[in-house]
Amino acid sequence: MKKKFVHSLSKKPAWLVSLLILSIFVLAACQAAATPTQAPAKIPPTATTAPIASPTAATSAEAVINIVADSKLGKILVGDKGMTLYMYTVDGPNQSNCTGGCLAKWPPLLTQGSPKLGEGVDASLVGTATLADGSKIVTYNKMPLYYWVNDAKSGDTTGQGVGSVWYVVSPDGKSVTQ
């Protein structure tokens, strides 16, 4: 009897340890699935960009394009709330080549109609192109316009020169390079 009791005690800790290890793996897997592998993207606070998770979601306001003077880059285009607009030099005329993860980092300036244009914005350079999901991205001089998720506030231009393919846009519709 003593032998059976000692034998059952020696099995319990192994069983409990196995259960504990299995629980830790399950919890770790759940935690990994619940948290993104990178920091969540900061999308400029504007109604003119659709959430990436539901790119066909309706926007409540039209796209806005204004011109501001940047101390380093000169006059540049900005969207709603003064957030800097960029062009992707890999895009073609009226064609976005930014998809998937690219759009997560570079949210497009979307529109449902005609963007509101500030003083000095050349209306003849404003147009739209259709993204793969059917939404309309605003173009300027036939180049699609995007925000950069790392621009946290009005006046930020941290996307300038990223990958030597992303640049702010001048009022004449050209990329601003230094």
Residue-number span of the structural domain to which 28 is assigned = 1-35
Contact of 98 with 146, CB cutoff 8 Å: yes
Is position 22 within any domain?
yes
Same domain (yes/no): 70, 158: yes
Which residues are bridge partners to 117 per DSSP?
Answer: 65
pLDDT in tens, the chain (178 residues): 555 544 544 555 654 455 445 455 444 444 443 434 433 333 333 333 333 332 333 344 689 999 999 999 999 999 989 999 999 999 999 999 999 999 999 999 999 988 999 999 999 999 999 999 999 999 999 999 999 999 999 999 999 999 999 999 999 999 998 5
Is position 162 within any domain?
yes
Length of the chain, please?
Answer: 178
Is position 98 within any domain?
yes
Task: Write the CA distances from 5 to 13, 17, 18, integer angstroms.
Answer: 13, 19, 20
Same domain (yes/no): 73, 158: yes
Same domain (yes/no): 76, 139: yes
Is position 57 within any domain?
no
User: Which residues does 1 contact at the CB level (< 8 Å), separation at least 6?
Assistant: none
Same domain (yes/no): 153, 75: yes
The pTM score is 0.67
Phi and psi, residue 90, nearest 5° = -85, -20
Same domain (yes/no): 100, 149: yes
Buried b (16+ CB within 10 A) or exposed e, 91-107: beeeebebeeeebbbbb
Q: Domain count of the chain?
A: 2
Contact of 81 with 131, CB cutoff 8 Å: no
